[in-house]
Chains A and B, each alone.
Chain A
Amino acid sequence: MNSLYKQLKEHLPKNTAILSDKEFLLINRKDYNINQLAPVQAILESIDVSVGYPFRVLLSFIDSLATASKVNDFNIILTDPSMAVAAYVAWVRCGGSAEKGNIFAPKGMPNFPIKDGIVGEILNDFIKKINNNPTVKFDKEIFTFVIGNTKTASQTAFAATNFKDVKKGALILKDFARTDAYQEREYLEEMMLFPTVTFEGHGYIIKF
């Protein structure tokens, strides 16, 4: 069989394994997965947090997006306080500081550890900037992360409402493909929001 690999092999980048037939080609580039996940590891360690693989993949996605966005200013809107770590990753990797970055989150954010040094400084700025006011008023012109869960319809609605008018930003929903989250999916569709679903079941929309 004349696979896609045979036809294209001289144009492909270096790789360690290939899966291919005449219509399909998947190349495994060396340590790709580890390289993607490694930057998040250091951030988690620095705040004494450990998470499982699927959530780590979501954090890694936020990490890549935040690093690549190279924004001057940004907003983070968190719909579920249990996702505070995701907000922190976005904050660190967007260059959040006393002058740069805004965070809106519902009450009930978990306590972060008390740290010295540069991690302590970043954490202090992050915590100081958290705005718990239930009416979220933010600049829709600057890059905005809306990070949420699909645990309840109200959380999803809150995320969708806030993301709808954002000019540039990302809507990130953990466990979006969960079987029993069909109501949440339908709600987003009604608002003409159609997230892409990752292998791990997270949903995201990026606006640039």
Chain B
Amino acid sequence: MSNLKEIEKLIQSGDYVEAQKKTELLKAPKATKLAVLASIALKVGEFQKSEVLFERALETDPNNILAIGNYGQLLVAQKQFNRALPYCEKVHLTEQKNEGYLLNYVACLAHIDNFEKAIEVTKNFIEKNRKNSLNVKLTLASVYRAYLKPREALDVLNNAIEVHGDEPELERAIADAYAEIDPKTASEAFAKAIEKTKKPLPLKWNWSFVELRMQNFKLGWELYEAGLDEKIGRVGRPLPAVMRQFKRVTQIEDLQKGKYTLLTAEQGIGDQILFLSSLNEMLPKIEKPILICEERMLPILRRSFPTIEVKTYGFANSLSSQQERLNGVFPIGSMMKYCRSSKEDFLQKRKPYIQTNELKTAEYKKLIELKYPGKKIVGVSWSGGFWDRQKRAKSIDFEELISLMKMEDHVYVSLQYGDVSENKKLVIEKKLPMVFIDGIDFKNQIDEWVALAAACEKIISVSTALVHFAGAAGKKVDLILGESQSPFIWGLEEGNSLPYENVTIYRQREKEKREDYIKRLKGVL
């Protein structure tokens, strides 16, 4: 005879074989037995088996709490938040004191951008349960940050300090929250937190952005190298899988003479363009460089850097057995520490380095001028970012953009990638002077996209890759930023950008209302 508690202990101790045997002898409803077997499979890492068992358990008894809760957890672990939500909600409402169920539910709510609900349930949990854990408070702070409310996150964390003391995790979370409000204090907080932590890498990674944003480039780029570590994962600087089979080199001194070095593109395409600002200065320092990039970047990079071989990741993969000829992989972000270690470096060395497709540009310009003779051509892009959090911070409402338009003497060209069908409808409905060029996939036909951008006299854009391409090609860009969360390279001030001479930054000031900001922009753009 066995009971659930005994099985739970066996699972906790990692004796899954014995736990499975005991479960088979368990006198319990069929759904419970199946749910326990599913949980064991989940612990062992047999996700598919676990999913099938959970589904069987729920077919047998749709109200079995163990099955609902653990199935929800499985789906959260697999990042299937939309599927997990109903299970996590149901089990949280039934077992309101269970911390694990709460955290799963909050993860789902945050993922679908229902931050208000996520905050509400977490706060309720903290109020109702006296023994609230640090984990729950860290989660609440993290939800506030994702909701772009770093000050509220900071309040939660400062209150937590009174109860939990200066736990390393808490200190790191405080430093992270300050990073979005007050970089100087954040820098001090990171320096303090790093002394105590046993896991310095994630901390260094987050700290790097604070220093880079404050234009302390020497320390910033040094800390930025932490992002290459596998422990940082996807949010760091993961190299494409095919490049991980090569030795990684980040120091020029480690390059052997006579061997080839695969300078590898990393991060988003905007970052890649920024990093490539130092390529021409690096080339004399590297004997046999090959620039490795995505296929879609080939035409523009081959044209812009004619003295270096530019190849695809697929080509690099074909060299995996030729490692004796290679120094290995040198991520292009690691070039910056050699060429852009101070503000002065940027200012002295900035000049256009991206060559656009001039023939295409002339073609596009002619087309637009035919339809809108005598009008000033202005490119626009209003949405950017890869991560949800970035998307929220990097976008401007399309209606706001319309309010900035000068209808009489300008024609606007959409340079926005992704689905713009709704925006298009609105433009037709309101008869706005805006052109959408069909037939170019802006995400994949980069060369055409940039050629179209180059056909514009100026560009008004939020922070997207477009700003880097246009800026690096010497085009005039008005960059619209929100109050916080802008990429580190745009610094903290307004005015001329550091990496690109013709990019002018506009930033919503602290305590400036959104409508006042838009009004201000209308006056200057």
Tell me the A residues contacting B by CB distance below 8 Å: 9-14, 38-39, 41-43, 45-46, 66-67, 92-95, 97, 116-118, 121-122
Contacts and interface: CB of A to CB of B under 8 A. Distances in A.
B124 interface: no
A39 B49 contact: no
A87 to B, nearest CB: 15
A38 B324 contact: no
B49 A118 contact: no
B318 A10 contact: no
A11 B41 CA distance: 11
A92 B49 contact: no
11 contacts: A10-B52, A10-B53, A42-B318, A46-B315, A93-B320, A94-B321, A95-B323, A117-B260, A118-B290, A121-B325, A122-B322
B375 to A, nearest CB: 43
Interface residues of B, number: 20
A38 B322 contact: no
B314 A39 contact: yes
Contacts of A94: 321
B48 interface: yes
- 7 cross-chain pairs, A with B, having the tightest CB-CB distances, nearest first: A42-B314, A95-B321, A10-B52, A10-B49, A42-B318, A42-B315, A43-B318
B322 A92 contact: yes
A43 B315 CA distance: 7
A45 B312 CA distance: 11
Contact of A11 (B49, B288, B320, B324): B49
B59 to A, nearest CB: 14
Given A10-B48, A12-B48, A118-B260, A67 B314 contact: no
B294 to A, nearest CB: 13
A31 to B, nearest CB: 13
Contact of A14 (B48, B314, B315, B322): B48
Nearest to B41: A10
Contacts of B321: 66-67, 92-95
B260 A42 contact: no
Interface in B279-336: 288, 290, 309, 312, 314-315, 317-325
Given A12-B48, A95-B322, A97-B325, A39 B317 contact: yes
A38 B318 CA distance: 10
A97 B324 CA distance: 9
- Among B49, B314, B320, max chain A CB count under 10 A is at B314
Contacts of A66: 321
A118 B323 CA distance: 11
Interface string B42-56: 000000110011000
Contact of A118 (B312, B320, B325): B325
Contacts of A14: 48
A43 B325 CA distance: 16
Contacts of B314: 38-39, 41-42
A10 B319 CA distance: 38
Contacts of B322: 92, 95, 97, 118, 122
Contacts of A10: 48-49, 52-53
Contacts of B319: 92, 118
A61 B317 CA distance: 16
Given A97-B325, A117-B290, A39 B309 contact: no
Interface string B349-379: 0000000000000000000000000000000
A114 to B, nearest CB: 15
Contacts of A117: 260, 288, 290, 309
A117 B259 CA distance: 11
A17 B312 CA distance: 30
A39 B312 CA distance: 11
Given A10-B52, A10-B53, A46 B318 contact: yes
Nearest to B53: A10
A42 B260 CA distance: 18
Contacts of B317: 38-39, 42
A67 B48 CA distance: 31
Contacts of A121: 325
Nearest to B308: A117
Nearest to B242: A39
Nearest to B260: A118
A67 B320 contact: yes
Contacts of A41: 314
B52 A118 contact: no
Nearest to B326: A118
B325 to A, nearest CB: 6
Contacts of B315: 42, 45-46
A13 to B, nearest CB: 8
Contacts of B288: 117-118
A66 B322 CA distance: 12
Contacts of B323: 95
Given A9-B52, A39-B318, A97-B324, 9 more contacts: A10-B49, A11-B48, A42-B317, A45-B315, A46-B315, A67-B320, A95-B324, A97-B322, A117-B309
A92 B48 contact: no
A118 B341 CA distance: 32
Nearest to B289: A117
A151 B324 CA distance: 37
A155 B325 CA distance: 35
Nearest to B315: A42
Contacts of B309: 116-118
Nearest to A12: B48
A11 B314 CA distance: 32
A40 to B, nearest CB: 8
A168 B319 CA distance: 24
Contacts of A92: 318-319, 321-322
Contacts of A93: 318, 320-321
B311 to A, nearest CB: 8
Nearest to A100: B324
Contacts of A97: 322, 324-325
A7 to B, nearest CB: 12
